[in-house]
Structure 1
Amino acid sequence: MKKPSVTPIEKEVVLNEEDFIISKTDLKSRILYGNQIFIQMSGYSEDEILGQPHNILRHPDMPRCAFKVLYDHIQNGKEWFGFVKNLRKDGGYYWVFANISPTYDNNGNMIGYYSVRRKPREGFKSIIEPLYKTLLNIESSEGMEGSLKAVEDLLEKHNMTFNEVMLKIQKGIINEL
C-alpha cells in the first residue's frame, strides 16, 4: 500500500485512487470498525479511534447542515452520498467522496451505519468548497434552518435530490452550482 501524499503547506493528505476507506458505527455513530486505510488517514491509532464518536473527524470547514441531511437520509433507511472534509489527529485534513448507509440485524432492525469513502474526482473542490463556505456563512447568520433552506433551494433549482447532485459532481457531469 502506497503512503498517501502530503501537501505540507496546507497539511492536506490525499487519498490514493485505489484506496477505499471503510468504517462501521453503532446508532450513536461510535466507531466500531475501521479498515487500515481509515486508521492511517485519520492519524489516530486503532485503540484511540475505536469507540469514539465519528465526529472526532469533523473538520470545522464542514457545514452542520451537511450532517443533518446525511442523518436524515440514513436514519430514514436511505443511503447518502456526499463530499466530506475530515480532520486528522495531527491537524491536517483529507477529502473523501462518501457513501453511507444503515446496517440491519437479522430481524431487520437498524443497528448502525456503514461507510465507504473514496478519493473525490479532480476539480470537485471548485464546486464544493464555495458551496460549503456559503452554507457556513448562512449558518453563522441564520442558523441551520437558513443553510438547510439554501440546500433545498439549490436542489429545487437543479430539480434533483441531494444524492443526485453529489453523484453528478463526482462523475464530472455538474461542474458548477
Structure 2
Amino acid sequence: MRASRTSPTGVERRFGDDELIVTKTDARGVITYANDVFLRVSALTEDEVVGQPHNIIRHPGMPRGIFDLLWETLRSGSEIFAYVVNLAADGAHYWVLAHVTPSVDAHGKLLGYHSNRRVPVPAALTAVRRLYDELLAVEARFSRPAEAVAASRALLTERLDTAGMTYDEFVWSLSPEGVAA
C-alpha cells in the first residue's frame, strides 16, 4: 500500500472518455471492489485497495468543504454528482466527475456506497478549479480542521446562493449533456 505521504507531482493522468472508474465501499467507506480502470489510473493494485478507506486516493488539493457536502448528501440517503481531483499512488492526479450513491438492502438499510466516475468535460474544470481554489484558500486560514470545513462550506453556500443554484445545479450547468450522463 502506498504511504500516506505521497506528494502530488503535478503530473495529470487521464483515462478514456469511454471508460468508467467504479468502486464500491461498505457503510464506513472501506473499499470492497475496484474495477480495472480505477486500479490502472490510481496506480494501485487490488490487494492495495480492497480493505482500505476510500480516502486512500484523497488529493490535498481537494477542498474539505466539498467532501463535507458529499458525505452530508450521502448520509441523507441521496445521490450526488461532484467534481473530484484524486491522487494516484505515484503522485499523479486525475480529475473525475463522480456519481456516488448509497447502496441499501430491501429494507432500506445502508450497505455501502457505489461510485462511478467519468472523464469531466475539460471546459468545466476551469470553473471547478476557480471555485475549489477559493475554497482551499479559505480553508488554509484555519489550523483546526473543523473550522476549515465550516469556513469552506460557508463560502461554498455563499457562492452557490449568489449564483442562485445548488451544488448539483452548478455541476450540471458545466456539462453540455446535463443530467443525461
Q: Same fold per TM (> 0.5)?
A: yes
Select which of 158, 165, 169 maps to 2:163. 158
In 2, Cα distance between equivalents of 1:107 and 1:133: 41
Q: CA shift at 1:147, angstroms?
A: 1.0
**Structure 2 Cα separation of the partners of residues 172 and 155 of structure 1:** 21
* Residue equivalent to 2:6: none
Deviations 1:67-91 (A, max 9, x none): 0000000110111111100000001
What is the alpha-carbon distance in structure 2 between the residues aligned to residue 162 and residue 154 of structure 1? 10
Distance in 1 (alpha carbons) for counterparts of 2:176 and 2:74? 22
Q: Does the 8 Å CA contact 1:11/1:93 hold for their aligned counterparts? A: yes
Q: Which residue of 1 aligns with 2:5?
A: none
Per the alignment, residue 12 of structure 1 pairs with: 12
- The separation in 1 between residues aligned to 2:88 and 2:59, in whole angstroms, is 8
Alignment root-mean-square deviation, CA? 1.5
> Aligned to 1:170, what secondary structure does the other structure show?
coil
Any runs of at least 4 consecutive aligned residues in structure 1 with deviations exceeding 2 A, and if so which? 170-173
Instruction: Check whether the contact 1:97–1:170 (CA below 8 A) recurs between aligned residues.
Output: no
Range that drifts further, 148-157 or 138-147? 138-147
| Matching residue of 1:145 | 150
Match of 1:26 in 2: 26
Q: Is the 8 A contact 1:10 1:92 kept in 2?
A: yes
> Is the partner of 1:61 in helix, strand or coil?
coil
Q: Which residue of 2 aligns with 1:3?
A: none
- The residue that corresponds to 1:4 in the other structure is none
Cα distance between partner residues in 2 of 1:167 and 1:110: 27
1:66 Cα offset (Å): 0.6
Paired residues in the alignment total: 165
5 Å-filtered alignment, 1:131-142, equals 131-142=131-142
Provide TM-score, normalisation by structure 2: 0.87
**Paired amino acid for 1:88:** A
Q: How far did 1:118 drift?
A: 0.1
Long gaps (5+) in structure 1: 1-8
Measure how far apart 1:172 and its partner are: 7.7
What does residue range 16-165 of structure 1 map to in structure 2 within 5 Å? 16-142=16-142, 143-165=148-170
Task: Pick from 171, 174, 179 the counterpart of residue 169 of structure 1.
Answer: 174
TM-score (norm 1): 0.89
Aligned residue for 2:141, secondary structure, equals helix
Residue deviations 1:125-146 (CA, integer Å, cap 9, x gap): 2111121111011012152211
Distance 1:21 1:79 in 2: 17
Deviations 1:86-139 (A, max 9, x none): 000001111100110100012210111110100000212211112111101101
